[in-house]
């Protein structure tokens, strides 16, 4: 992995299936300064997709995940925040975001992105939002660099895909704030989650390597052509200031 990423101090928000898989890839790639923020309990239904195992059922995800990750790499320092990101009426967050170079949101929840829009940052940061559609058939990534962030264009870009999911799967409570990959009833397999996580890491690494200060919004879709699986294919992209 590129040294520009390895040396960064990273905050990962959300230790669900996508977040945990992203965290494990980072640690196995040599990232050594990672903090994970979450407060959910690991449930039996998470076993089919999560990197944790049955011994962790009933425990806090972030604590179990940090123990797991610290056992993988002797040089890594995985810390935890037993909370999710919140903001008060003075636009002050409960987590000091300026401590981190890279902030990766893997919650798939609009409220986290809405908070990041309100924060008054003292220095530039790289913000990455990683989320998936139903069954992880679509992957949505937003990459931004700066002190001020706006996700309106991201919402507009992914809205048609989310609405398509809603139309195809009326039985599920969609879109993004509904049944995410962190939920026990999320209809997706582990290989779909791992594919999404690894693709996301590639996108984040490339963005950092290019030292871009432009916003990059990406939509990937799983494709099968004549019975042959082709992987995630880039189907939509928007670049901006």
Which of the four CATH numbers 3.40.50.510, 3.40.50.620, 3.40.50.300, 3.40.50.720 does domain 3-240 have?
A: 3.40.50.720
Tell me the three state secondary structure of residue 240.
strand
The residue among 162, 51, 42, 177 whose CA lies nearest residue 107 is: 177
181: cis peptide before it, omega within 30°? Answer: no
Q: Are 50 and 42 in contact (CB under 8 A)?
A: yes
Q: Are 77 and 34 in contact (CB under 8 A)?
A: yes
Angle between helices 17-28 and 61-70 (to 10 degrees): 20
Stated pTM of the model: 0.91
pLDDT digit string (tens) for the chain, length 241 residues: 788 888 899 999 999 999 999 999 999 999 989 999 999 999 888 888 899 999 999 999 999 999 999 999 888 989 999 999 999 999 999 999 999 999 999 998 899 999 999 999 999 999 999 999 888 899 999 999 999 999 999 999 999 998 887 776 655 554 444 456 656 557 778 999 999 999 999 999 999 999 888 999 999 999 999 999 999 999 999 998 7
Q: Are 119 and 13 in contact (CB under 8 A)?
A: no
Other Cβ atoms within 10 Å of 53 Cβ, number: 11
Alpha-helix runs per DSSP H in the chain: 3-6, 17-28, 61-70, 110-118, 152-168, 190-209
Q: Are 240 and 154 in contact (CB under 8 A)?
A: no
CA distances from 95 to 11, 12, 81, 121, 239 (A): 10, 12, 8, 12, 29
Strands 125-132 and 215-225: unpaired
Q: Are 158 and 174 in contact (CB under 8 A)?
A: no
Strand order across the beta sheet in which 138-146 lies: 77-82, 33-38, 10-13, 102-105, 125-132, 138-146, 215-225, 228-240
| φ, ψ (nearest 5 deg) of residue 145 | -140, 120
Name the DSSP letter for residue 42.
P
Q: What residue spans define the domains of the chain? A: 3-240
The residue among 179, 8, 228 whose CA lies nearest residue 99 is: 8
**pLDDT score of 107:** 93
Q: Are 195 and 136 in contact (CB under 8 A)?
A: yes
């Amino acid at each position: 992995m590129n040294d520009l990423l390895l040396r960064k101090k990273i905050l990962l928000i959300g230790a669900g299936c996508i977040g945990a898989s992203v965290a494990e890839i980072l640690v196995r790639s040599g990232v050594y300064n990672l903090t994970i923020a979450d407060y959910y309990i690991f449930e039996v239904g998470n076993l089919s997709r999560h990197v944790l195992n049955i011994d962790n059922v009933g425990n806090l995800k972030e604590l179990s995940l940090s123990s797991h990750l610290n056992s993988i790499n002797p040089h890594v320092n995985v810390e935890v925040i037993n909370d999710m990101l919140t903001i008060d009426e003075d636009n002050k967050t409960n987590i000091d975001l300026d401590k981190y170079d890279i902030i990766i949101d893997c919650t798939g929840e609009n409220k986290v992105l809405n908070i990041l829009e309100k924060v008054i940052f003292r220095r530039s940061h790289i913000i990455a939002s990683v989320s998936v559609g139903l069954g992880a058939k679509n992957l949505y990534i937003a990459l931004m660099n700066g002190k001020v962030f706006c996700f309106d264009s991201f919402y507009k870009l992914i809205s048609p895909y989310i609405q398509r999911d809603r139309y195809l799967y009326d039985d599920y409570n969609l879109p993004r704030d509904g049944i995410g990959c962190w939920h026990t009833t999320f209809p997706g397999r582990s290989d779909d989650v791992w594919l999404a996580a690894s693709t996301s890491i590639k996108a984040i690494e490339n963005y950092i390597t290019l030292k871009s200060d432009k916003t990059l919004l990406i939509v990937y879709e799983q494709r099968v052509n004549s019975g042959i699986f082709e992987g995630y294919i880039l189907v939509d992209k928007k670049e901006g200031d």
